[in-house]
A = this chain, B = another copy of it.
């Protein structure tokens, strides 16, 4: 077991500097970070990370979709690989921590372990995954899905970005997709470990330093359309209306109210509404709204949908409107590895680090890896829960505790 890591200021400073250094690649006007897949900023960020990896003595290589690896070879040549890391891409005007932190944590952990303990028994690699956000092309988890085999080149043949540039062209121009690098699919992974910011306010509110993720929640998204009848707001008595807004308001309230009473962990969001004709003195003929529901158990999502959608039908009937419910996203919940969670909890308890066993309401590369290999996802707090924004912030003290935990977990697994 790793003994108490010295309380020097060196680690703290290295983390602080490395966060700022990596955030320079793709710095946006609003002081955020924009690194979209295969763009110049993305390429330079990967090259920068590659240089850093080389600098601390890791063997580096890319796969053919642009995932970048830094390898610390194990003495046991037959061992599978312990993989850690996260994604290098960002949303437009994102923060310095989302994705970046997992890569930084992996690099610093490997540097520390090699310096203190020399070569591990099992090979450890840190990965800078090429893409997770889906911010340039309508494709998410492109990096991790290629590694696990869930996606492949053929899947993106017809896909273009908002400027009409094809996925294939962008990839080729960045130097990938030609077969010059190794194929992305891997069969030699023992496990995946991802450090990430929480992107929520739970750890901060509960004053916990580390989040140990038990599940990444299942996520369903719907578009619900309510159709009534447009009429004059002054000349149509209340009893003769088919008011799509009125019906939608009752449905939205029912959905969220019901969500709160179904399970404490269920989250229900109506983030978007579009009304037609959307004029103050005309009764709306149509209301279209979104529904986003997430929970760690498929059965809870099923039950919620089954019961609530029946109620929506009744509400629609009562208002003499027509309703259609269209599901356009259905991601099942993914369980993280129990053994790896237990190992982390043992380490955290021993070192007296406050932590919370929790679910992740956001999607992460860990949900892709977690479907085929043992996966560990650890969170550090996000100030005010803000993410996908230049205001994204995590205190360096918290980043440091996360990295120390990663170091100890990797030591237990690889040394």
Contacts and interface: CB of A to CB of B under 8 A. Distances in A.
Given A245-B252, A246-B252, A253-B250, A236 B267 contact: yes
Contacts of A198: 235
A343 B235 CA distance: 25
A281 B269 contact: yes
A231 B392 CA distance: 12
Contact of A362 (B202, B232, B290): B232
Interface string A373-390: 000000000000101100
Contacts of A240: 201-202, 205, 385
Contacts of A385: 231-232, 235-236, 240
A294 B232 CA distance: 12
Interface string A101-128: 0000000000000000000000000000
Interface stretch (A1-9, A272-280, A345-353): A272-280
A347 B211 CA distance: 82
Nearest to A269: B233
A221 interface: yes
A270 B246 contact: yes
Q: Give the copy number.
A: 2
A217 interface: yes
Nearest to A259: B238
Interface in A273-301: 273-275, 277-284, 290, 292, 294
Nearest to A249: B252
A55 interface: no
Interface-centre pick from A221, A248, A252, A279 (highest chain B CB count, 10 A): A252
Interface string A181-213: 000000000000000001111100100000000
A202 B259 CA distance: 40
A315 B256 CA distance: 15
Nearest to A199: B235
A341 interface: no
A271 interface: yes
A235 B280 contact: no
Contact of A253 (B221, B249, B269): B249
Given A231-B385, A271-B283, A273-B273, A260 B238 contact: yes
A234 interface: yes
Nearest to A289: B245
Contacts of A225: none
Pick the most buried of A243, A246, A268, A269: most chain B CB atoms within 10 A of its CB: A269
Nearest to A201: B240
B271 A282 contact: yes
Contact of A272 (B259, B271, B280): B280
Interface of A: 198-202, 205, 217, 219, 221, 231-238, 240, 243, 245-246, 248-250, 252-253, 256, 259-260, 264-275, 277-284, 290, 292, 294, 360-363, 385, 387-388
